[in-house]
Amino acid sequence: MSHHCKKFLSAGLAGVLCSTALFSLPVAHADGRDGRGGDGRNNLHLPGLRDRPYTPENSFTRMFPELPPFARPTDEAREQAKKLGEKDGLIDARDNLTNPILSITEPNLSLNNPDNPNMTAGVTFFGQFLDHDITLDPRSPLLERSHPGKTTNFRTAAFDLDSVYGSGPKESPELYDLSSVDFKLRVDPIPGSHLVSRDKKPRYDLPRLPCDQVNNCTAILGDSRNDEHVILAQFHLAMLRFHNAVIDHLRADPANAGQSAEQIFQLAQRQVRWHYQWIILHEFLPLTIGQERVKDILNKGLRFYEVNKRNALIPIEFSVAAYRFGHSQIRPSYRVNFGPVDGQEFFAFVFDDTQDLGLEDPNDLRGGKRAPRRFVDWQTFFDFDDGRSRNNKKIDGKLSSVMMLLPGSRGVAAPGLPADGVTSLASRNLMRHVNFGIPSGQAIARRMGLPVLTSAQLDMLKPFDMEKSTPLWYYILKEAELLENGLRLGPVGGRIVGEVFIGLLKADESSYLAAQPNWTPVLPSKKAGDFRVTDLLTFAGVVPPLS
């Protein structure tokens, strides 16, 4: 599917790494609709659905179609999967959630959330942003068997930032600042943010419609999932400002004198995409799967993922299992910004199910809100050599307790959260394994010719009869924990994620890896010829000094 045939699509079903339902936020459309219309499927409103029905070109696929599912698609198997992921169960880290600050400063309150010294906290949320750039399966059924080849992917399977650009200025004008000479993307100042920022300067937010009766401030963006929590919304904002900064950078270059707005936009879009893709290949993947695995795939090619430029499909072994490893890395709480002075920093749990959904400025990080303190100081999330960054959590078989009770699960269900009584993110992941018929981690490891975890290593699964045939997602978490000390993905998880990422980059004719593989970054950076997330955020102007 070409980049030019994409429609501006948004879905009300939110997700953390691979369209996993947490809670939903409406999204604004150019024709004035607010995105709350429903079609009987969890009140989703997909304006492009009629324009993009199922075809073999925009569905999901299988990486190992010859392997049998880890379990039969029965109600009993689904119930066992649900129990494995339940609150207070095997996967629950059982964090003490009494105070978001103590959750960070008192390690004894989160004994099952060990530090990963090789990775900062922001890597997980960058990874979430990447997922939302390549997959969207808002109707993925939880209660019946599903066929990946008949499940539509509403994103392009390419790292092309369609979640940022939509279909471009002409077809998605609501995303663009039409008052500017060039095609800059819209951003809004946050009223009152200068009063609570450390440098007394205003901070910015996604463009939004006015808040409704329950104080949901609908974001105007190319993928509503990128507004599901403050951290992700602010990273999406950073990408908008990164594009705008590249526009200014190009306009300041005398070599571009006389270039039209359309020409400058095309140049900027390519620079933004290529620097973003460089970060994926040279920073995110080495941190996530290990540099040696990256080199092996680049040098020796793909062994298991069949992809080409005419038919780039996402395998469900990746989207439903392997790439959901990031769920294990989410901390219970974060320091979001540093406040006006020491002692007034904004600390919050990612989600707090006790919070009223209608609060204008809740004490958790849910999205869809605008308030003076709801911005991110990125020094917490990435290493700017100032000693302020926080480590990520290791990849292991535990999820923070905040992921066990999704927003609204104790009271009125959050908009878009399926009314099936499944409140745990882990349970939802595992039940999808049954429904999609995903092979076991052991079967895939044997098929790949890689080390297979033994029943003794997975002895904790005996009560669920899964120690010999383990759901791929959980297998990959335990593989990382046992074989890589939780620092990165193990052999099976690393191979699946690495092959899909590199395969998609090579299959996309417009990517730098396919079009100009010897290209190196040209924008200002800490190290010439390189470009990191910290360089992107600095160039975008979203990292003001805190001293």
Task: Annotate 336-380 with three-state secondary structure.
Answer: EECCCCCCCCEEEECCCCCCCCCCCCCCECECCCCCCCCCCCHHH
- What SS3 class is residue 72? coil
CA dihedral (4, 219, 51, 321) positive or negative: positive
Whether 187 shows a pLDDT value over 50: the answer reads yes
User: Could you tell me the pLDDT band of residue 156, with boundaries at 50, 70 and 90?
Assistant: confident
pLDDT at 149: 59
Whether 107 shows a pLDDT value over 90: the answer reads no
Mean pLDDT value of segment 406-432:
68
pLDDT at 546: 86
Least confidently predicted of 23-32, 53-62, 170-179, 202-211: 23-32
Tell me the Cα Rg of the chain: 22
Predicted confidence (pLDDT) per residue in 31-79, tens digit: 233 333 333 223 322 223 223 333 445 778 999 999 999 999 999 999 9
Whether 378 shows a pLDDT value over 80: the answer reads yes
User: Could you tell me the pLDDT band of residue 353, with boundaries at 50, 70 and 90?
Assistant: confident
284 near 126, Cβ under 8 Å? yes
Percent of the chain with pLDDT over 70: 84
Q: What is the DSSP string of 457-485?
A: TTGGGGGGT-SSS-BHHHHHHHHHHHHST
Mean pLDDT value of segment 278-303:
98
pLDDT at 292: 98
Least confidently predicted of 20-29, 416-425, 438-447: 20-29
Mean pLDDT value of segment 4-25:
30
pTM of the model: 0.89
pLDDT at 512: 97
pLDDT at 153: 65
pLDDT at 211: 86
pLDDT at 237: 98
Mean pLDDT value of segment 430-458:
97
Whether 443 shows a pLDDT value over 80: the answer reads yes
Mean per-residue pLDDT over the chain, rounded: 85
Whether 335 shows a pLDDT value over 50: the answer reads yes
Q: Which domains does the chain have, with CATH numbers?
A: 3-540 (1.10.640)
Whether 29 shows a pLDDT value over 50: the answer reads no
Q: Which residue has the higher pLDDT, 149 or 513?
A: 513
Least confidently predicted of 34-38, 171-175, 176-180, 345-349: 34-38
502 near 302, Cβ under 8 Å? yes
Give backbone dihedrals phi and psi of 314, rounded to 5 degrees, phi first. -90, 125
Between CA 127 and CA 395 the distance in angstroms is 14
Q: Which residue has the higher pLDDT, 306 or 11?
A: 306
pLDDT at 407: 64
Mean pLDDT value of segment 291-307:
97
DSSP 334: E
Between CA 510 and CA 246 the distance in angstroms is 18
Predicted confidence (pLDDT) per residue in 242-266, tens digit: 999 999 999 999 999 999 999 999 9
Percent of the chain with pLDDT over 90: 72
Closest CA to 166 of 190, 188, 183: 183
Please list the residues that pair with 204 across neighbouring strands.
Answer: 189
